[in-house]
Structure 1
Amino acid sequence: MYMPPQFAAKDAAIARELMRAHPFASLISTDDEGLPFVTHLPLHLVEEGDELVLLGHVARPNPHAKYLFDRPRAVVTFMGPHAYMTPRVYPDLARVPTWNYLAVHCTVQATPVDSFEDKDRLLKHLIHDHDPAYADQWRGLEEDFQQKLMRGIVAFELRVMELQCKLKINQHRPESHGALHAAYASGSPDEQALAGWMRRLGLGV
């Protein structure tokens, strides 16, 4: 993605934090005609030493699985909090609106997860992330039914080969920070989250 240097996150831990806090990602591959094909899905982040791996699955009828394994190099994006920014936060009039946001883009290499045991382990990570109380119910399902469900999905590991983390909160315009923080702090949940990031990054507040 377009990355002016003032918006590039310097701390790799921020990317991991955003990926875990906003796990509903976009997986982007190319289809057989060379066009982007996008699936929106939750992903679980695993840290293996210095490497990152994303775990996920799609429904078996979804053609994305074929595209992903035919061309295993893909892109995954995560979108954090985002909000409109009015030019009224500046002390002068000759300014324009923009949009502030936090985002992570990963270039990944896909590997299929085929065995029942490995799929089960992957699903338990996702259950733990989003609905831990469901774990007992999952374990209590009949084995035949579990096997049927497993056959209905295609699971995969996405090893992160490259990563970009963009924090765009008008860092390069300090004259806007006070009014921008005040506007965001009293706004929507996304705006309040951006105000928190402004405080965290020490942007004039």
Structure 2
Amino acid sequence: MYLPPQFAAKDPAIALELMRAHPFAQLISTDDEGFPFVTPLPLHVVEEGGGLTLLGHVAKPNPQAEHLRARPQALVVFNGPQAYLTPRVYPDLQRVPTWNYLTVQARVQVGFIESFEDKDRLLKHLIHDHDPAYAEQWRGLPEDFQQNMMKGIHAMELRVLELRCKVKLNQHRRESHAAMLRLYEQGGEQAQALAGWMRRLKLGTPDT
């Protein structure tokens, strides 16, 4: 990822917050011909021992599992809020449009989870993240049904080797911040989310 210094998030808590708020990620590896292969999937973030591990699974027929068994490193991308920015926010005319966004990229070491108990624990993490009311229904399903479901997935733990977080909010163009914040506050959900990050980073506020 191209990461100019002014857009590199210095606080690791920002990356962690983005990963948890936007858990539907892209798992990117290469196929047997060296071409990128991408699977969109939700991931659960685990903090332990000062490191991060991402838990998720793909369907049994998905060939990416075999790619990853052969080449067990991959890239995971989490995309946060994003929105267009008009050059009308600048006081001078010689500016061009741009796009603001937040994103996290993690280089990971892939390991596979094989036992029923460990797969069940992984699924319960994901259920708790997205549909905790379903947990009781899952626990009540017949054991043979659960066993068959577990056989239908490749469960994975992705140990984070390197984490890069990009927060692109025109930090280097202070003259645009006040107008940019007002514009995003009046926009749609994505733009308003960016406005929230601007306020958090004190861009466009009287403190800047």
* Consecutive unaligned residues in structure 1, runs of 5 or more: none
> Runs (4+) of structure 1 moved beyond 2 Å?
none
Which residue pairs with 1:81 in the alignment?
Answer: 81
Question: Is 1:47 matched with 2:34?
Answer: no
Which residue pairs with 2:17 in the alignment?
Answer: 17
The offset of 1:191, in angstroms, is 0.2
Is the contact between residue 179 and residue 204 of structure 2 (CA under 8 Å) also seen in structure 1? no
The offset of 1:68, in angstroms, is 1.2
Question: Is 1:120 matched with 2:103?
Answer: no
Is the contact between residue 72 and residue 111 of structure 2 (CA under 8 Å) also seen in structure 1? yes
Q: Number of aligned pairs?
A: 205
Identity of aligned residues (%): 72
1:165-194 per-residue CA deviation (whole Å, 9 max, x = no partner) reads 000000000000011000000101010000
Question: Is 1:137 matched with 2:137?
Answer: yes
TM-score relative to the length of structure 2: 0.98
Which residue pairs with 1:153 in the alignment?
Answer: 153
Question: Is 1:91 matched with 2:129?
Answer: no
Question: Is 1:184 matched with 2:184?
Answer: yes
RMSD between aligned alpha carbons?
0.5
The offset of 1:92, in angstroms, is 1.1
Which residue pairs with 1:200 in the alignment?
Answer: 200
* Consecutive unaligned residues in structure 2, runs of 5 or more: none
Supply the distance in 2 between the matched residues of 1:185 and 1:69 (Cα, whole angstroms): 46
Local SS of the residue matching 2:29: strand
Structural mapping, 1:46-65, within 5 Å: 46-65=46-65
Supply the distance in 2 between the matched residues of 1:67 and 1:85 (Cα, whole angstroms): 39
Which residue pairs with 2:69 in the alignment?
Answer: 69
TM-score relative to the length of structure 1: 0.99
Which residue pairs with 1:165 in the alignment?
Answer: 165
